Structures are given as C-alpha cells and as structure tokens.
Amino acid sequence: MYFRYDEPLFRPPAEAYSAIIQATLGCSWNRCAFCDMYSSKKFRPRTFDELKPEIETLAAMYQGVKKVFLADGNAFVLSANRLLQLLEEINRCFGRVQRVSSYALPRDILSKTDDELKSLRANGLKLLYIGVETGDDELLRLIGKGETADSTVEGILKAHSAGIETSIMIINGLGGKRYSQQHAVNSAKVISRVNPKFLSTLTLSMPLGEDHFKEKFRGEFIPLTVVELFEELRTFISLSEVDGTIYRSNHVSNNLNLSGTLSKDKEQLLAQLDRAIALTPRGIYPSSPSML
C-alpha cells in the first residue's frame, strides 16, 4: 500500500499516533510573522474526491487507530458541510475513532453556527488546537495574527459551548524584551477567561534567522535571554487562573520541560522556574545548549 503526503507536514506532539488526513494544503492565512511552516505552499482545500480514496487507504493502514488529525495549517477553515462530509467518511472507514482534531483559528470557529459546531462535535470532532500565541492586542497586531484578545476568547468559548475542547498554544518570548511584560500579563488574562482543557507554551524560534523574523515583525524586537524567557513564563503561569488545565512545556524549542495540572501544580511549576532562573547564567540566548 502506497501513501504520500504533500510535505512539509506538521502535527501537534499529542497526535504522534494519529492517522493524519491532509484535508487542506498550507494555511489559509499564512501571514504570521514568526511562522514559515507553510510558506512554501499555496493554500488549497482538497476535494472530497481526492480525499475519499486516501481515507480508505489510511483506514486500512492504521487499523485500530484511536485518533485522526486533520492537517494542514487550519483545516477547520473548511465549511461545516465539508467537514461533516469528511467526518462521516472517517467514521465509515475507521469505525468510530475516539476523537478527530485539527488546527483552527478563532475566526474559523466564529464563522460556524452553534448548531454546526454541535453537529461537528456529534460526529467526532472533539478537539481544536489553537495557536493563540499571545493575549496582548498590540502584539497580536505586530505579528499579523489577524485576531484580537476578544475574538480569540469569543471563538474558544463558542467551541467550548458546543462541547469541543481546545488545546491552546502560547509563544514564550514572542515580543522580545519590549513587549515581554504585557505579553505575559495579557496572555494569562486570555487563558484565565477561556480555561482550556490543554495549554502548552513553545519558545519563539527563528529557523530562517532573526533578520527574517524582524522583516515581518512590525515592532522593535530585542530577543530574550534564557533567563528572561523563564521570567516571562513565570509571570504568565503565576497569573493564569484556571481549573483543571493540563499544561505542557515539552516542545523541542523549550529550554525547560514543565508539565502539570496548572491549578493543582502551579506552586511546583513556579518553583521549577525559580530554580532554573537561579541556576542559569544570565546573558545566554536560547540557541545556547540547555544547561538544565
């Protein structure tokens, strides 16, 4: 059996054992200053006729798989009708999987009605991964996200009302020194308002170089040292008031692995950060090898 993805292909770490169906190619937005994941691709929704034989092939290859992830960048941009057609085919071919998930932008959620979201949930779409990146309106504008803190909260809460859970990503160091404090404070406010099931923090990385990032970032960017990244993260975690949110900071970009339930384990997470801040020499940058 032969199967070929349109590369590059990305999926969240939690979808490592999922069957991946490329419902769309690229990202419909493709403008965020820090993101070059899909810059080599022109966005295109794939037709049901293209996907149907692939779903059949994947179902045969991944017998017994429990989860299905819809790629690429924001597959949830597809209309509810198209997504429902895909979910029905997934359920028909795979049998009922435990959950289907995809990346989404808040506006992809807001463009659907409450009934459409409930219908998607009833057909297995149970989790959306949302790159919130920051809860700070100024920084959202500077990175060109096309969202505000309020639109982000509204979209996430709308998904939650329909029974769809969310996994939220925040980018540590996104605004550099100048915007660090407001980024931490306002991101914590957004997280506290939405109380997601899952939360993860990644660290800003610039695989194409700092100059490339600065060309797209619309403000003054001064990168944070490792200690400053930890301090920003500490402020963010200490101000996030949530209940039951499962938190992970285990992305390859991070300098320190953290995990816990944010309400229950907050003090322990802060103590880990305090220790890291005390033990890490000031003045080293994230590209330096981790000392911890």
Provide the binding-site residues for ligand SF4, judged by CB under 6 A.
27, 29-32, 35, 37-38, 73-74, 105, 131
**Shortest distance in whole angstroms from residue 50 CB to ligand SF4:** 21
Query: Between residues 73 and 155, which has the closer beta carbon with respect to ligand SF4?
Result: 73
Q: Tell me how far apart the alpha carbons of residues 94 and 162 are, in angstroms, rounded to a whole number.
A: 24
Query: Between residues 74 and 166, which has the closer beta carbon with respect to ligand SF4?
Result: 74
Give the rounded distance of the alpha carbon of 147 from its chain centre: 14
**Shortest distance in whole angstroms from residue 73 CB to ligand SF4:** 4
Q: How many residues does the chain have?
A: 292
Query: Between residues 142 and 273, which has the closer beta carbon with respect to ligand SF4?
Result: 142
**Shortest distance in whole angstroms from residue 277 CB to ligand SF4:** 28
Query: Between residues 73 and 176, which has the closer beta carbon with respect to ligand SF4?
Result: 73
Helix boundaries (H) for the chain? 48-61, 80-94, 106-110, 114-122, 137-143, 149-161, 176-194, 210-216, 226-239, 266-279
Rg (C-alpha) for the chain, rounded Å, is 19
As given in the structure block, the two tokens for residue 255 are 């300098």
**Shortest distance in whole angstroms from residue 39 CB to ligand SF4:** 8
Question: Dihedral of CA 252/254/255/256: which sign?
Answer: negative
**Shortest distance in whole angstroms from residue 176 CB to ligand SF4:** 18
Preceding peptide of 207 cis, ω within 30°? no
Query: Between residues 131 and 176, which has the closer beta carbon with respect to ligand SF4?
Result: 131
As given in the structure block, the two tokens for residue 73 are 């960048």
Q: Are 173 and 143 in contact (CB under 8 A)?
A: no
**Shortest distance in whole angstroms from residue 38 CB to ligand SF4:** 6
Query: Between residues 30 and 85, which has the closer beta carbon with respect to ligand SF4?
Result: 30
